[in-house]
Copies of this chain bind each other. A is one copy, B any other.
Amino acid sequence: MDFFEQVGTMAIGSRLRRMSGVFTDEARQVFSLYGVGLDPKWFPVFYVLSRNEQGLSTTEIAEEIGHSHASVSQIVKAMCAESLLSTSRTAEDARVNLIRLSDAGRTLVPTVTEQCADVGEAIDELLAEAHSDLWHALADVEHLLEEKPLYQRVKERYRRRELKHTEIIDYRPEDREAFKTLNIEWIDRYFDVEETDLQQLDHPVDEIIKPGGHILMALYRGEVVGTCALIKADEDRYELAKMAVTDRVQGKGIGLLIGQAVIEKAREIGAGMVFLESNTILEPAIALYRKLGFKRVCGPPSPYDRCNIQMELPLV
């Protein structure tokens, strides 16, 4: 059982579960000590009902105690079987089940109140003996997780790790095939490939690079997985286009990396601004552009049918 020592904090989930199990077991004993015929799992329901004399609906109880409504429904059913509760449909709304303590249930309140006081004190004593404050630590962690879930924290690290295996390079002659495939792949999924597309995809050097543009390729573990072009519009303005990252490496932040590299490239060559055209149904892409600093603008109509949004990023 030195498992926890070995894997350390990573096993915090299991550890919390185990500890909660310990408390559950203890609770069982405590409840039998006080001799009220109350199943420990009924306690939360009993408690909220004891301080809501006028009764509560299933959903209200569920929200109050943080269970699902189904769970409350089951507990209420069991407590009714012991005739601790009485239920009735409300007059105003025939859907809601108004639940309240029965007379039998109310007779338990004084004892349960005493029990609460004793248990509360005992736990306070327990927590006070510890060097670190478990109760506040739980509250802290709860808040911190709300602010930024663990998944996101891990993902940041994951990306950082994956980016070490990612490299952005300038277009090489052997990338011609990949440049085309990567783009066709996604255009085809959402739209029809247009003539303008094929023109550029088939002749990247003539159509993009020779006129003063650039093409960057993203390599992941040595393999081409993404691309993005910077097409010269005029002396000052460049278009970010033909951005594509293969599905296989989605979620590693490679899109962001190649986007940043393209903007960096634009700065290097003295561009005053970068613009792009896209479609609002490509939500992740739009989010990425926004993250890169692009703002939506209304410009002249696009040569592409599929575009319904224009964005730009001033560089000076």
- Chain A interface residues toward B at CB < 8 A: 1-4, 6-20, 22-24, 26-27, 29-30, 33-34, 44, 47-48, 51, 63-66, 114-127, 129-138, 140-142, 144-145, 149-151, 153-158, 161, 251
Contacts and interface: CB of A to CB of B under 8 A. Distances in A.
Q: Closest 9 interchain pairs by CB? A: A13-B23, A130-B140, A16-B20, A132-B137, A134-B137, A122-B153, A118-B157, A17-B20, A26-B150
A14 B155 CA distance: 29
A10 B51 CA distance: 16
Given A19-B141, A30-B154, A11 B134 contact: no
A24 B10 CA distance: 11
Nearest to A123: B9
Contacts of A33: 151, 154-155, 158, 251
A51 B144 CA distance: 33
B118 A154 contact: yes
Contact of A23 (B1, B12, B29): B12
Contacts of A13: 20, 23-24, 26-27
Contacts of A63: 1
A127 B151 contact: no
Nearest to A124: B9
Contact of A134 (B64, B141, B154, B251): B141
Given A3-B48, A23-B150, A131 B136 contact: yes
A145 B126 contact: yes
B23 A16 contact: yes
Given A23-B16, A154-B30, A251-B33, A133 B137 contact: yes
A135 B44 contact: no
Given A114-B161, A132-B136, A150-B26, A1 B126 contact: no
A116 B7 contact: yes
Contacts of A3: 44, 47-48, 64-66
Given A12-B138, A131-B136, 20 more contacts: A2-B64, A3-B65, A6-B51, A12-B123, A14-B20, A14-B65, A15-B20, A16-B17, A16-B19, A16-B20, A18-B66, A115-B158, A118-B158, A118-B161, A119-B154, A127-B141, A130-B140, A130-B141, A130-B144, A134-B141
